[in-house]
Amino acid sequence: MDFVPFQLNINGKLLDLSTPQVMAIVNATPNSFYAKSRVNTDDAILDAVNRALTDGATIIDLGAYSTHPKADAISNTEEIERLENPLKLIRENFPDVIISLDTFRADVARWAVEKFDVNIINDVSGGTLDDAMFETVADLQVPYILMHMRGTHQTMQQLTDYDNMMAEIMEFFEKRINQLVRLGVKDIIIDPGFGFAKTTEQNYELLAKMGYFKEFGFPILYGISRKSMIYNLLGTSPEEALNGTTALNILGLVNGADILRVHDAREAVEAVKIYELYKSFQD
Protein backbone atom coordinates (compact mmCIF):
# COMPACT_ATOMS: atom_id res chain seq x y z
CA MET A 1 0.00 0.00 0.00
CA ASP A 2 1.12 3.60 -0.66
CA PHE A 3 0.77 5.87 2.36
CA VAL A 4 1.61 9.56 2.70
CA PRO A 5 4.01 10.34 5.59
CA PHE A 6 2.85 12.72 8.30
CA GLN A 7 4.40 15.21 10.70
CA LEU A 8 3.27 16.27 14.17
CA ASN A 9 3.85 19.74 15.60
CA ILE A 10 5.40 19.21 19.04
CA ASN A 11 5.90 22.62 20.66
CA GLY A 12 6.95 24.14 17.36
CA LYS A 13 9.20 21.24 16.34
CA LEU A 14 8.07 18.72 13.74
CA LEU A 15 8.08 15.01 14.53
CA ASP A 16 8.54 13.21 11.23
CA LEU A 17 6.42 10.08 10.84
CA SER A 18 7.79 9.08 7.44
CA THR A 19 9.43 6.31 9.47
CA PRO A 20 6.96 4.88 12.01
CA GLN A 21 7.70 5.95 15.58
CA VAL A 22 7.52 3.96 18.81
CA MET A 23 5.53 5.15 21.82
CA ALA A 24 6.49 3.43 25.09
CA ILE A 25 3.87 2.80 27.76
CA VAL A 26 4.64 3.80 31.35
CA ASN A 27 1.84 3.10 33.84
CA ALA A 28 1.60 5.00 37.12
CA THR A 29 -1.16 2.69 38.26
CA PRO A 30 -1.35 -0.22 40.71
CA ASN A 31 -3.68 -2.24 38.46
CA SER A 32 -2.67 -2.12 34.80
CA PHE A 33 -3.42 -5.45 33.08
CA TYR A 34 0.29 -6.05 32.38
CA ALA A 35 2.03 -5.99 35.74
CA LYS A 36 5.54 -5.31 34.42
CA SER A 37 4.41 -1.98 32.93
CA ARG A 38 3.53 -0.56 36.37
CA VAL A 39 6.03 1.83 37.96
CA ASN A 40 5.44 2.91 41.54
CA THR A 41 8.82 4.19 42.77
CA ASP A 42 11.05 7.03 41.59
CA ASP A 43 13.77 4.63 40.47
CA ALA A 44 11.30 2.44 38.60
CA ILE A 45 9.86 5.43 36.75
CA LEU A 46 13.27 6.74 35.70
CA ASP A 47 14.53 3.27 34.77
CA ALA A 48 11.44 2.60 32.63
CA VAL A 49 11.76 5.89 30.74
CA ASN A 50 15.52 5.60 30.31
CA ARG A 51 15.23 2.02 29.04
CA ALA A 52 12.49 2.96 26.57
CA LEU A 53 14.46 5.89 25.18
CA THR A 54 17.68 3.89 25.03
CA ASP A 55 15.81 1.18 23.14
CA GLY A 56 14.66 3.71 20.55
CA ALA A 57 11.25 4.98 21.63
CA THR A 58 10.58 8.62 20.76
CA ILE A 59 7.40 9.15 22.83
CA ILE A 60 6.62 8.21 26.43
CA ASP A 61 2.91 7.55 27.07
CA LEU A 62 2.16 8.03 30.76
CA GLY A 63 -1.14 6.98 32.29
CA ALA A 64 -2.55 6.78 35.80
CA TYR A 65 -6.07 5.47 35.14
CA SER A 66 -6.28 1.84 34.11
CA THR A 67 -8.90 1.17 31.41
CA HIS A 68 -8.82 -2.59 31.89
CA PRO A 69 -12.46 -3.82 32.13
CA LYS A 70 -12.01 -4.93 35.76
CA ALA A 71 -10.22 -1.79 36.95
CA ASP A 72 -11.99 0.46 39.45
CA ALA A 73 -12.84 4.06 38.67
CA ILE A 74 -10.76 6.76 40.37
CA SER A 75 -11.46 10.45 40.96
CA ASN A 76 -9.90 13.32 39.04
CA THR A 77 -7.98 14.25 42.18
CA GLU A 78 -6.52 10.77 42.56
CA GLU A 79 -5.54 10.65 38.89
CA ILE A 80 -3.65 13.94 39.24
CA GLU A 81 -2.00 12.77 42.47
CA ARG A 82 -0.78 9.61 40.72
CA LEU A 83 0.58 11.62 37.79
CA GLU A 84 2.29 14.52 39.54
CA ASN A 85 5.47 12.82 40.76
CA PRO A 86 6.10 10.79 37.57
CA LEU A 87 5.62 13.87 35.40
CA LYS A 88 7.91 15.92 37.62
CA LEU A 89 10.61 13.23 37.54
CA ILE A 90 10.40 12.74 33.78
CA ARG A 91 10.53 16.48 33.00
CA GLU A 92 13.44 17.07 35.39
CA ASN A 93 15.51 14.13 34.14
CA PHE A 94 14.47 13.98 30.48
CA PRO A 95 13.54 17.61 29.71
CA ASP A 96 13.28 17.16 25.94
CA VAL A 97 11.35 13.90 25.83
CA ILE A 98 7.96 13.90 24.10
CA ILE A 99 5.33 13.02 26.72
CA SER A 100 1.90 11.75 25.81
CA LEU A 101 -0.67 11.73 28.61
CA ASP A 102 -3.20 8.91 28.63
CA THR A 103 -6.34 10.56 30.06
CA PHE A 104 -9.95 11.10 29.04
CA ARG A 105 -10.46 14.03 31.45
CA ALA A 106 -10.18 17.59 30.17
CA ASP A 107 -9.13 19.11 33.49
CA VAL A 108 -6.36 16.53 33.93
CA ALA A 109 -5.18 17.23 30.38
CA ARG A 110 -5.09 20.99 30.97
CA TRP A 111 -3.26 20.63 34.29
CA ALA A 112 -0.61 18.36 32.75
CA VAL A 113 0.02 20.52 29.70
CA GLU A 114 0.15 23.78 31.63
CA LYS A 115 2.25 22.50 34.56
CA PHE A 116 4.54 19.94 32.91
CA ASP A 117 4.49 20.81 29.20
CA VAL A 118 2.90 17.50 28.26
CA ASN A 119 3.05 17.32 24.48
CA ILE A 120 0.21 14.99 23.39
CA ILE A 121 -3.17 14.06 24.85
CA ASN A 122 -4.14 10.41 24.37
CA ASP A 123 -7.90 10.07 24.97
CA VAL A 124 -9.19 6.48 24.94
CA SER A 125 -12.78 7.74 24.87
CA GLY A 126 -12.47 9.91 21.77
CA GLY A 127 -14.10 12.75 23.68
CA THR A 128 -17.17 10.72 24.65
CA LEU A 129 -16.51 10.71 28.40
CA ASP A 130 -15.80 14.43 28.88
CA ASP A 131 -17.68 16.99 26.79
CA ALA A 132 -15.00 19.58 27.51
CA MET A 133 -12.11 17.59 26.02
CA PHE A 134 -12.30 18.81 22.42
CA GLU A 135 -12.47 22.49 23.37
CA THR A 136 -9.64 21.95 25.86
CA VAL A 137 -7.21 20.42 23.36
CA ALA A 138 -8.17 23.11 20.86
CA ASP A 139 -7.29 25.77 23.42
CA LEU A 140 -4.05 24.02 24.43
CA GLN A 141 -3.05 23.41 20.78
CA VAL A 142 -1.45 20.04 21.42
CA PRO A 143 -1.73 16.93 19.25
CA TYR A 144 -4.73 14.80 20.17
CA ILE A 145 -5.09 11.04 19.88
CA LEU A 146 -8.71 10.28 19.01
CA MET A 147 -9.58 6.69 19.86
CA HIS A 148 -12.74 4.73 19.08
CA MET A 149 -14.53 3.22 22.06
CA ARG A 150 -18.09 2.53 23.11
CA GLY A 151 -19.33 3.02 26.66
CA THR A 152 -16.79 3.02 29.48
CA HIS A 153 -13.96 0.64 30.26
CA GLN A 154 -16.33 -1.19 32.63
CA THR A 155 -19.10 -1.64 30.01
CA MET A 156 -17.26 -1.75 26.68
CA GLN A 157 -17.05 -5.54 26.46
CA GLN A 158 -20.86 -5.73 26.44
CA LEU A 159 -21.04 -3.26 23.55
CA THR A 160 -19.58 -5.29 20.68
CA ASP A 161 -22.80 -5.69 18.64
CA TYR A 162 -22.41 -3.77 15.37
CA ASP A 163 -24.61 -3.87 12.27
CA ASN A 164 -21.52 -2.96 10.22
CA MET A 165 -18.49 -2.44 12.42
CA MET A 166 -16.21 -0.70 9.92
CA ALA A 167 -18.94 1.62 8.65
CA GLU A 168 -19.89 2.59 12.21
CA ILE A 169 -16.28 3.23 13.26
CA MET A 170 -15.64 5.28 10.12
CA GLU A 171 -18.75 7.33 10.88
CA PHE A 172 -17.53 7.85 14.46
CA PHE A 173 -14.20 9.22 13.22
CA GLU A 174 -15.72 11.36 10.48
CA LYS A 175 -18.08 13.08 12.91
CA ARG A 176 -15.51 13.68 15.63
CA ILE A 177 -12.72 14.72 13.30
CA ASN A 178 -15.06 17.34 11.82
CA GLN A 179 -15.80 18.64 15.33
CA LEU A 180 -12.09 18.88 16.16
CA VAL A 181 -11.19 20.60 12.89
CA ARG A 182 -13.98 23.15 13.35
CA LEU A 183 -12.56 23.96 16.79
CA GLY A 184 -9.09 24.47 15.32
CA VAL A 185 -7.32 21.28 16.38
CA LYS A 186 -4.57 20.82 13.79
CA ASP A 187 -2.76 17.65 14.84
CA ILE A 188 -5.12 14.68 15.13
CA ILE A 189 -3.99 11.06 15.44
CA ILE A 190 -6.47 8.25 14.81
CA ASP A 191 -6.48 5.21 17.10
CA PRO A 192 -8.87 2.44 15.94
CA GLY A 193 -9.23 1.26 19.54
CA PHE A 194 -8.14 -2.37 19.43
CA GLY A 195 -9.68 -4.25 22.34
CA PHE A 196 -12.17 -1.52 23.20
CA ALA A 197 -15.75 -2.66 22.51
CA LYS A 198 -14.49 -5.27 20.05
CA THR A 199 -14.32 -9.05 20.14
CA THR A 200 -11.19 -10.97 19.21
CA GLU A 201 -12.51 -11.58 15.70
CA GLN A 202 -13.55 -7.93 15.31
CA ASN A 203 -10.05 -6.82 16.29
CA TYR A 204 -8.54 -8.89 13.48
CA GLU A 205 -11.08 -7.56 10.99
CA LEU A 206 -10.18 -4.05 12.14
CA LEU A 207 -6.49 -4.79 11.59
CA ALA A 208 -7.08 -6.20 8.10
CA LYS A 209 -9.04 -3.08 7.12
CA MET A 210 -6.98 -0.50 8.98
CA GLY A 211 -5.87 1.16 5.75
CA TYR A 212 -9.40 2.53 5.39
CA PHE A 213 -8.60 5.13 8.03
CA LYS A 214 -5.93 6.71 5.82
CA GLU A 215 -8.84 8.27 3.92
CA PHE A 216 -9.10 10.84 6.72
CA GLY A 217 -5.61 12.15 6.06
CA PHE A 218 -4.27 11.77 9.61
CA PRO A 219 -1.66 9.45 11.12
CA ILE A 220 -2.69 6.20 12.78
CA LEU A 221 -1.65 5.07 16.24
CA TYR A 222 -1.65 1.30 16.58
CA GLY A 223 -1.94 -0.17 20.07
CA ILE A 224 -2.21 -3.95 20.39
CA SER A 225 0.66 -4.57 22.80
CA ARG A 226 0.10 -7.71 24.89
CA LYS A 227 -3.70 -7.36 24.56
CA SER A 228 -6.30 -10.08 24.88
CA MET A 229 -6.66 -10.36 21.09
CA ILE A 230 -3.26 -12.07 21.33
CA TYR A 231 -3.29 -14.06 24.54
CA ASN A 232 -6.93 -15.18 24.33
CA LEU A 233 -6.33 -16.47 20.80
CA LEU A 234 -3.15 -18.30 21.82
CA GLY A 235 -4.37 -19.46 25.23
CA THR A 236 -1.58 -17.71 27.09
CA SER A 237 -1.33 -14.51 29.20
CA PRO A 238 -0.18 -10.88 28.88
CA GLU A 239 3.23 -11.95 30.23
CA GLU A 240 3.59 -14.47 27.38
CA ALA A 241 2.29 -12.21 24.59
CA LEU A 242 5.48 -10.51 23.38
CA ASN A 243 5.99 -12.80 20.39
CA GLY A 244 2.38 -12.31 19.28
CA THR A 245 2.72 -8.56 19.80
CA THR A 246 5.73 -8.39 17.51
CA ALA A 247 3.96 -10.44 14.84
CA LEU A 248 0.95 -8.14 14.97
CA ASN A 249 3.12 -5.02 14.99
CA ILE A 250 4.58 -6.09 11.64
CA LEU A 251 1.04 -6.57 10.29
CA GLY A 252 0.08 -3.18 11.66
CA LEU A 253 3.00 -1.52 9.91
CA VAL A 254 2.10 -3.22 6.63
CA ASN A 255 -1.45 -1.88 7.04
CA GLY A 256 -0.39 1.72 7.65
CA ALA A 257 0.50 2.24 11.32
CA ASP A 258 2.48 5.45 11.92
CA ILE A 259 3.00 5.06 15.68
CA LEU A 260 3.33 1.78 17.58
CA ARG A 261 2.18 2.05 21.20
CA VAL A 262 3.97 -0.72 23.10
CA HIS A 263 5.19 -2.08 26.40
CA ASP A 264 8.43 -3.35 24.83
CA ALA A 265 10.25 -0.62 22.92
CA ARG A 266 13.27 -2.55 21.71
CA GLU A 267 11.26 -5.26 19.98
CA ALA A 268 8.98 -2.65 18.37
CA VAL A 269 11.95 -0.63 17.11
CA GLU A 270 13.39 -3.82 15.61
CA ALA A 271 10.05 -4.53 13.92
CA VAL A 272 10.09 -1.04 12.38
CA LYS A 273 13.65 -1.54 11.14
CA ILE A 274 12.74 -4.86 9.48
CA TYR A 275 9.58 -3.35 7.97
CA GLU A 276 11.43 -0.33 6.60
CA LEU A 277 13.94 -2.48 4.71
CA TYR A 278 11.12 -4.70 3.41
CA LYS A 279 9.15 -1.64 2.31
CA SER A 280 12.12 -0.20 0.42
CA PHE A 281 11.76 -3.03 -2.10
CA GLN A 282 8.03 -2.38 -2.51
CA ASP A 283 8.51 1.16 -3.83
User: Could you read off the pLDDT tens digit of each residue along the chain, which spans 283 residues?
Assistant: 455 579 999 999 999 999 999 999 998 876 555 556 567 789 889 999 999 999 999 999 999 887 666 667 788 999 999 999 999 999 999 999 999 999 999 999 999 999 999 999 999 999 999 999 999 999 999 999 999 998 776 777 777 899 999 999 999 999 999 999 999 999 999 999 999 999 999 999 999 999 999 999 999 999 999 999 999 999 999 999 999 999 999 999 999 999 999 999 999 999 999 999 999 998 6
From first CA to last CA, the distance across the chain in angstroms is 9
Pairing of strands 98-102, 120-123: parallel
Q: What whole-number distance in Å separates Cα of residue 209 and Cα of residue 211?
A: 5
Residue from 194, 220, 221 nearest 207 by CA: 194
Q: Is 226 a catalytic residue?
A: no
Helix ranges (DSSP H) in the chain: 42-54, 76-93, 106-116, 133-140, 165-183, 200-208, 228-234, 242-254, 265-280
Domain spans, the chain:
7-280
- From 82, 198, 214, 227, the catalytic residue: 227
Asked about 227 being catalytic, the answer comes back as yes
The residue annotated as part of the active site, out of 261, 266, 273, 279, is 261
Q: Regarding the domain delimited by 7-280, which CATH topology (the fold level of the hierarchy) does it fall under?
A: TIM Barrel (3.20.20)
Residues 6 or more apart whose Cβ sits within 8 Å of residue 77: none
Is 206 in a helix, a strand, or coil?
helix
